[in-house]
Structure 1
Amino acid sequence: MSADVLVDPAQQTPYFLWGLGNTARDGTGDGYLFATGGTASGGLRGAIATGNWTTEQQVASSGGLPRGVWKNVTLTVGDGVAVLYLDGVEVGRNANATIKPSDLGGGVTAANYLGRSLYASDKYFRGKLKDVRLYDRALTGLQVATLPANSTTIRSVALASLKTPAVIDPGASSVVLPVRPGTDLRRLAPEFGLAPGATIAPAGGPVDLSRPRRFTVTGAGGERRVWTVEAHETRSPALPGYHADPNIVAFGDTYYLYPTTDGFDGWSGTKFSAWSSKDLVHWTDRGVILDLGPDVSWADKNAWAPTIAQRGGKYYFYFCAEAKIGVAVSDSPTGPFVDSGKPLIARNPDGGQAIDPAVFVDPTGQPYLYWGNGNAYVVPLNDDMVSFAPAKITRLSGLDDFREGLFMAERNGTYYLSWSIDDTRSEDYRVGYATAASPTGPFTNRGLILGKDAHLGVLGTGHSSMLRVPGTDDWYLAYHRFGIPGGDGTHRETTIDKLTFRRDGTIVPVTPTLESVRPQRIPQCRGAVRPG
């Protein structure tokens, strides 16, 4: 079965795109065949069953069904194999699909629905369906590729200079080529994978892709579609591998990044590392600076979201472990750090996880600690940087859609508090901010600083930190995004982009890029303090 589908971004789950069977609304009966787009970020799958859900033989893709754009979804079942296609490209296969469509009601079904589940508790489909096709045979991959919606699709791109796979968006008819730094964008010769019998123009030979260029794909049946192709020198991520929740700072003439080490199921990492750079572009791994196993007596797992501050020649490293916040101290920004021996914050006054600390020292020298998940808090720290008066904890209010990831910065007497919105597993993870005349508010919401750019394949942008280059009014934003390609909420990359302010002091929303930033050194100032 095949259909062109457009899923409304507000679609609730669970839901079916279609369902064919003889089941009652509670799922009992002699089976069904269905497809669902699942959640906003994952769960595209189909299944055939001889009874209720416990008998399902499923086929699923590793990614989800994008929302808000037209996509072709095709599910084939035959000869013991179930195959799922998205825009004519195979995205899932089950070679052990022993149930045949003819097993359902002896080949006769009466409960057949478009946009409605066979289960009464499921949600109705919200969106649009067109060109719905039901076949009496399992189409081959070639036949699926030549369906009208797929015959003009660019299926793949081969190019030696690609740093990561091309980002192909059939819904927007666009292709982004993330090429390695130094590639001449004016002389690229991409080879496009097309449906059988399709052609593309211009074809062959180098083309200038320093600007977006249009290509026309003509299907075997004469259908035409115009695609926009563009290339980007890709200098991100800033750090190799998976790293999230980056805290970026400058000490002396050096920049430092302190991230969560990512890539573990359930965010179960145990080690913190530090990275240093003289120019924001070339980063050096300074190794593990704190390990929850041997270095922290009160926690062994979930090393998340660190932050750091310097005071009196010491460096104070605040970190999450087992949903508590600790602090460790060192004579150097690269450690080794010695834990205080107990959590600084073991629980919140009003519930929610005690996570995501952000330390801020105001122009008077007063340090503050911000943290929270679900509820947001701030407290002034004592001069020792490792204690505070519990009675001085303030619960922050009025932060629109606050989830986690607080960060504070000050510019020209205005205090900028940012935070992350949504779930870090969502491609819509994003950053909002508010301003105030003091570090503790009251705050005025100002909207978003940062959001995804699906056109570039940049998703799940959040948990950011702001950096002012010492001695300048140049600002940068460090944040994480889903890894490219194939990342998710536990496989995230750290990157950096430029942050700018309007004349009225509000922040211009950051444009996520693949290029990241150009080198910028810290100006040499007489009497500058260098880190130990």
Structure 2
Amino acid sequence: MLTSRFAPRGEIIPGALFVDDRGEVAQLHGVGVQRFGDLFWAWGEDKSRGGLFGGVACYSSPDLATWTSHGHALAVDPTVPDLGPDRVVERPKVLRNAAGTYVMMLHIDSADYADARVGWATATRPEGPYEYRGSERPLGNLSRDIGVFADRDGTGYLMSEDRDHGLHVYRLTEDLLGVAEIVSTTHAPPSDHPLGTYGFESPTMIECGGLYVLLGSDLTGWSTNDNKYATAPSPAGPWSDWRDVAPPGSKTFDSQVSVVVPVTGSEATTYVYMGDRWNRDDLFHSAPVWLPLRVDGTQARLEWREAWTLDVATGVVS
């Protein structure tokens, strides 16, 4: 379904790379996206060093299809053990706390993925530079792929993959700089996974009219799979059974979810699924697969489009 290698600026083509204002490939891998004012801000893994830390790249866009580079929000720093060039730093996600501080959360790990920690960094502007604050295993649990969610009342949540126990949903402290408690844990039986482990990775959550939708990917390494979703009346659950978010066997249109971004306009709210089509041999050129996600009652469904645009003022896809 690869339409072209590079998408024209202003257009979203699933499986094609975005090019930024410099003419460079936008490093939007494992991306986190937030809307602040009139701009969408995105933080992605810079894969110029392959699987090892190359920095957290930052971009802004008025329409999710035209990207301006702001350099590295968090750079490689050999003097900081977690940010050295031999480290793994993935899944950058940002929330803004009540004091107006931008809080970045990250998956922090060693090259052999033995550390399994969550890291924090803060900044006074969305583009940074971010000051690294350290890492930990939240409440002593393993933490690999992460996602974040801010509820309507301002409560922040961290979703974190712990393959020993499942996918945890943590309530964050008021300043978003720590974990307060686990509010729910959801998982599939180990027999459902080739690795014999629990869970779902690369989690993300949205809220739709009082219904909470949690999405995640099975544990199949670099290979894509049929990503799943579950629903609940609150982040504390109880969560429904997990179901396919795309046609069974499509392997989520050959992608892995990273984040879902709600775009509310004057006519509609569109939920934008942002996934990665990982190329293990060339992570730098791994292509984004971004598609509209339809939520109808307790049903969520990913819709394939060869090419599309989004009017952010109205929320209408064309």
Counterpart mapping for 1:94-105 below 5 A: none
Is the 1:317–1:328 Cα contact (8 Å) retained in structure 2? yes
From 478, 486, 494, give the equivalent of 2:288. Answer: 494
Deviation at residue 296 of structure 1 after TM alignment: 4.1
Matched, 1:262 2:47: yes
Matched, 1:416 2:213: yes
Matched, 1:362 2:146: no
Matched, 1:429 2:215: no
Matched, 1:378 2:174: no
- 2:56 aligns to what? 272
**Gapped runs of 5+ residues in structure 1?**
1-166, 168-175, 183-232, 525-532
- 2:257 aligns to what? 463
Task: Tell me, in whole angstroms, the C-alpha distance in 2 between the residues paired with 1:424 and 1:261.
Answer: 19
What secondary structure does 1:445 align onto? coil
Deviation at residue 248 of structure 1 after TM alignment: 2.2
Matched, 1:311 2:97: yes
Is the 2:73–2:129 Cα contact (8 Å) retained in structure 1? yes
Give CA deviations for 1:213-249 in whole Å, capped at 9, x if unaligned: xxxxxxxxxxxxxxxxxxxx77833352664212222
Task: Tell me, in whole angstroms, the C-alpha distance in 1 between the residues paired with 2:92 and 2:18.
Answer: 17
Task: Tell me, in whole angstroms, the C-alpha distance in 1 between the residues paired with 2:256 and 2:90.
Answer: 14
Counterpart mapping for 1:234-383 below 5 A: 236-238=16-18, 240=25, 243-262=28-47, 264-265=49-50, 267-293=51-77, 296-300=80-84, 301-312=87-98, 313-322=100-109, 323-340=116-133, 342-343=134-135, 345-346=136-137, 349=140, 353-374=142-163, 375-383=166-174
More divergent stretch after superposition (396-405 vs 318-327): 396-405
Task: Tell me, in whole angstroms, the C-alpha distance in 1 between the residues paired with 2:27 and 2:178.
Answer: 32
TM-score by length of 1: 0.48
Task: Tell me, in whole angstroms, the C-alpha distance in 2 between the residues paired with 1:243 and 1:284.
Answer: 12
Counterpart mapping for 1:100-139 below 5 A: none
Task: Tell me, in whole angstroms, the C-alpha distance in 1 between the residues paired with 2:204 and 2:6.
Answer: 32
Distance 1:364 1:399, change over 3 A: farther
Distance 1:286 1:399, change over 3 A: farther
Deviation at residue 480 of structure 1 after TM alignment: 0.5
Deviation at residue 348 of structure 1 after TM alignment: 6.5
What secondary structure does 2:269 align onto? coil
Counterpart mapping for 1:3-402 below 5 A: 178=4, 236-238=16-18, 240=25, 243-262=28-47, 264-265=49-50, 267-293=51-77, 296-300=80-84, 301-312=87-98, 313-322=100-109, 323-340=116-133, 342-343=134-135, 345-346=136-137, 349=140, 353-374=142-163, 375-389=166-180, 392-394=181-183, 396-399=185-188, 402=199
Letter in 1 for 2:104: F
Percent identity between the two aligned chains: 20
Task: Tell me, in whole angstroms, the C-alpha distance in 2 between the residues paired with 1:234 and 1:381.
Answer: 33
What do you get for the CA RMSD once the two structures are aligned?
3.2
Deviation at residue 397 of structure 1 after TM alignment: 2.4
**Gapped runs of 5+ residues in structure 2?**
20-24, 110-115, 193-198
Letter in 2 for 1:306: P
Task: Tell me, in whole angstroms, the C-alpha distance in 1 between the residues paired with 2:3 and 2:105.
Answer: 39
Matched, 1:445 2:202: no
Matched, 1:510 2:306: no
